[in-house]
Amino acid sequence: MEQSKASGHLSALLTIIIWGTTFISTKVLLVDFQPIEILFFRFVMGLIALLLVCPHRMRGTTRRQELTFAAAGLCGVCLYYLLENIALTYTMASNVGVIISVAPFFTAILAHIFLKQDEKLRANFFIGFLIAMVGIVLISFNGAAMELNPAGDLLALLAAFIWACYSILTRKISSYGYNTILTTRRIFLYGILFMIPALFLFDFKLDLMRFTNPVYLLNILFLGLGASALCFVTWNFAVKLLGAVKTSIYIYLTPVITITASVLILHEPFTALTGAGTVLTLAGLLLSEGKLFSRKENS
């Protein structure tokens, strides 16, 4: 049991480390690609990779299970990323970074409602949440004033809620007993299908010749194979082992990973305020993880 939990924590940590650095690749690609184009290419590539890794068919699914897969694809692949990308066009990236980090709180509330026998919360989760949010605010704004933009900020808040829904759905899917790669592949397929109407709304262009630029090719490979194919499998695997709430807490680390990557790769300054925010965020994470489940559940 302890070994499986350790595997779950390592999977969640690996996922967040990669997801926390994707902004660099996305920023590079946004020079010549629309957000919807990056989204479509990365998940199609991820689906192809998962097909090659595990070409077996998923058999014996019920209509109810297929609806759950479809809902997960709609939430975690299509709506979350579309809402996040659209929010970035209306408000500051720092606003979006802070608001998206509220996802673990939404996950905890939804888990308490829909997974009553699976996810039991304690006071330290909420105390840790508040401490982590203070740290995330310090990291994201670094002393700058927070400029509210109702449209963008509400879209970011909705994206955080959508990701919480995805976490609950993947927890339900994990109970079906199917291979994690197969379930992730099915989620990707539905997500891409739901994405197709958006291609016409956001001026999608296929233009694969852009990938003759090796910089663009390497970055889309990182997003498609690493951030999509690998990370969605490892995230869903972590949810299966740890539960939706404990896994979602790792989202607190995203700003920490992002600021670390920006210092190391983009050579951005690391200030005292950033350091304080990092310490508070890590403290909030550890406190929330501490004794999230009741003794009765662990017994």
- Higher local confidence (pLDDT), 49 or 289: 49
Other beta carbons within 10 angstroms of residue 177's beta carbon come to 8
Per-residue pLDDT of 62-111, as tens digits, reads 999 999 999 999 999 999 988 887 887 777 666 677 778 888 888 888 88
Per-residue pLDDT of 200-234, as tens digits, reads 888 889 899 999 999 999 999 999 999 999 999 99
CA pair distance 278, 254, nearest whole angstrom: 11
- Higher local confidence (pLDDT), 93 or 168: 168
Closest CA to 216 of 208, 226, 225: 208
With beta carbons less than 8 A apart as the criterion, state whether 129 and 43 touch: no
Domain ranges of the chain: 2-298
Structure tokens at 43: 């998940």
User: Residues 30-59: what's their mean pLDDT?
Assistant: 91
Distance between first and last Cα of the chain: 11
CA pair distance 286, 96, nearest whole angstrom: 23
CA atoms within 13 A on the CB side of 183: 28
3 state DSSP class of 149 = coil
